[in-house]
Structure 1
Amino acid sequence: MSFIEISNVDLVYGKPGEKSTVNDTLAVSDTSITIEDGEFLALVGPSGCGKSTLLKLIAGLIRPSRGSVKVSGQEVTCPLKIVGMAFQNATLLPWRNIRDNVMLPLEIVEPYRGRHRQDRAKNRERADILLEKVGLAGFAEKMPWQLSGGMQQRAQLCRALIHEPSILLLDEPFAALDTFTREDLWGVLQELWEFRKCTIIIVTHELREAAFLAGKVSVMSSRPGRIIKTSSVDIPRPRTLETTFEPQFVELVQDLRHHISLGKTS
């Protein structure tokens, strides 16, 4: 049994509370995928193909119109507490310093919420360890506006991981950053995954990013999205920017690009 199992899923977007009509949008069609515990998966494909929808289905934020989504053998029927999420924009709270932003999930998610007051010193230490891990040692007392976009994204990754989730869902977390900052954060995320070994699923349009980070890459077709190709990334870790120029890496990226093109016409 796989850790995450998406089986023959359809997702139709319509008007809440109303019966389905021909005008509703079929976002995902007959999609199946399995993800193992501790695996790092990248989802790539054309814009609007349903990549972000799959993340929402796994997180329990939406329910499939048909088919099933299971985590640890249990049907996902509500938002999962074992999930951490990070998005394109860091969305740090401007009135809280970086450490307090990172600690926010511990004030919300059980069982940490009920013990937050008595465990505050321990939680501060946990946040500081993560901040140091991503190169933000010494910035815990800074406010979000005092950090660059790349530094804010590092803090957002820490916030997503602070409650030790079993699953980390990343929706184009580096898309708004410049190339140099983005490539730097590939290394940071790779180290965080090695450190925590949680299951990570990242949605990205950057094929080099997918090949650099993931152990497996799944290509989705144009809407209605479905998985049309899954490739294993058999490239040793740790990967570096030099890795991206190696023939095996370049060949993988070209193969992914080819299948995305096929998916636009299928």
Structure 2
Amino acid sequence: MPFIELSNVDLIYGTASQDAASQTLAVSSATLAIEHGEFLAIVGPSGCGKSTLLKLISGLVQPSRGTVTVDGKKVVQPLKTVGMAFQNATLLPWRNIRDNVMLPLEIVEPYRSRQKIDRDKHRQAADVLLEKVGLAGFGDRMPWQLSGGMQQRAQLCRALIHEPSILLLDEPFAALDTFTREELWAVLQDLWSFRKCTVILVTHELREAVYLAQTVHVMSARPGRILKSSVIDIPRPRTLESTFEPGFVDLVHDLRHHIGLGKQQ
């Protein structure tokens, strides 16, 4: 049985009391099977429902039709075993970097009830993650003292500190310059190899999707449907040099072609 499974999922925005013209079918007949530890990416035109799929998997919204299951259980409420990272790092400006990373441990059980007892253990875990993303020695710095790319590294650490089984990434590098973004591809690849949680990445950057993912799913324009699933059979660890190889370039062009087809549907 897949670790995460979406079965013929529709999501309609708007209430049942509204007429059909006032409702929006955001996702239609979405069916996905995701294995534990898999790294997949979702691409497609703007407004096609990519971020909505993340909300469905995390339990932040419930499907209008169909079912979402995680680890064999139907998702009926927000999951505690999920880490999330977004386009903006949203670090709390009054907390240093280490304390920002440790924030989920103050919220999520069983860590919350043991945070005073395990404070030193949690600090050590935060420092291990910070070192893993190249931020060793920056735990006592404030967010404003870090560049945008460094803040995004800290955000990834915060998303992973409570050892989630699922990491949901909603365009986490979209606001960064090209060079910083490409550096963070390697950082995220290393983090996934280190933790091996299930990662679902939403992105508009097709090179990013092919660089990072094992499978890339292409969605159509709204209402979002899964049009194509491409297995990325490129050896790891992948490097920037890999992105110039003919097989890599062909995969990117194929994804772009299907996104174009999806806009016409």
* TM-score bucket of the superposed structures, by smaller chain: over 0.9
Segments of 4+ moved more than 2 angstroms: 17-22
2:155 corresponds in structure 1 to 156
Q: Structure 1 18/92 Cα, relative in aligned 2: closer, same or farther at 3 Å?
A: farther
1:33 corresponds in structure 2 to 32
Q: TM-score, normalised by structure 2?
A: 0.99
1:80 corresponds in structure 2 to 79
2:210 corresponds in structure 1 to 211
> SS of the residue aligned with 1:22?
helix
Between the aligned partners of 1:116 and 1:20, the Cα distance in structure 2 is 49
Give the alignment's Cα RMSD to 1 decimal. Answer: 0.9
1:194 corresponds in structure 2 to 193
Residues 210-251 of structure 1, C-alpha deviation per residue, up to 9 Å, x if partnerless? 000000000000000010000000000000000000011000
The AA in structure 1 aligned to 2:68 is: V
Between the aligned partners of 2:260 and 2:177, the Cα distance in structure 1 is 25
2:145 corresponds in structure 1 to 146
Residues 160-215 of structure 1, C-alpha deviation per residue, up to 9 Å, x if partnerless? 00000000000000000000000000000000000000000000000000000000
Residues 43-73 of structure 1, C-alpha deviation per residue, up to 9 Å, x if partnerless? 0000000000000000000000000000011
Q: CA deviation at 1:32?
A: 0.5
The AA in structure 1 aligned to 2:42 is: L
2:10 corresponds in structure 1 to 10
> SS of the residue aligned with 2:56?
helix
1:263 corresponds in structure 2 to 262
Unaligned runs of 5+ in 1: none
Residues 113-155 of structure 1, C-alpha deviation per residue, up to 9 Å, x if partnerless? 0100100000000000000000000100000000000000000
The AA in structure 1 aligned to 2:242 is: T
> SS of the residue aligned with 1:223?
coil
The AA in structure 1 aligned to 2:192 is: W
Between the aligned partners of 1:180 and 1:155, the Cα distance in structure 2 is 18
Between the aligned partners of 1:56 and 1:36, the Cα distance in structure 2 is 18
Q: CA deviation at 1:23?
A: 1.5
Between the aligned partners of 1:93 and 1:221, the Cα distance in structure 2 is 36
1:60 corresponds in structure 2 to 59
Between the aligned partners of 2:19 and 2:247, the Cα distance in structure 1 is 46
1:101 corresponds in structure 2 to 100
Residues 76-133 of structure 1, C-alpha deviation per residue, up to 9 Å, x if partnerless? 0000011000000000000000000000000000010010010000000000000000
> SS of the residue aligned with 2:185?
helix
Query: What are the within-5 Å matches in structure 2 for residues 159-174 of structure 1?
Result: 159-174=158-173
Query: What are the within-5 Å matches in structure 2 for residues 45-56 of structure 1?
Result: 45-56=44-55
> SS of the residue aligned with 1:92?
coil
The AA in structure 1 aligned to 2:10 is: D
Between the aligned partners of 1:183 and 1:105, the Cα distance in structure 2 is 27
Between the aligned partners of 1:21 and 1:96, the Cα distance in structure 2 is 47
Preserved contact between residue 14 and residue 20 of structure 1 (Cα < 8 Å):
no
Which deviates more from structure 2 when the two are superposed, residues 249-258 or residues 18-27?
18-27
2:174 corresponds in structure 1 to 175
* Number of aligned residue pairs: 265
Between the aligned partners of 1:93 and 1:18, the Cα distance in structure 2 is 39
> SS of the residue aligned with 2:83?
strand
The AA in structure 2 aligned to 1:155 is: A
> SS of the residue aligned with 1:218?
strand
Q: CA deviation at 1:19?
A: 4.7
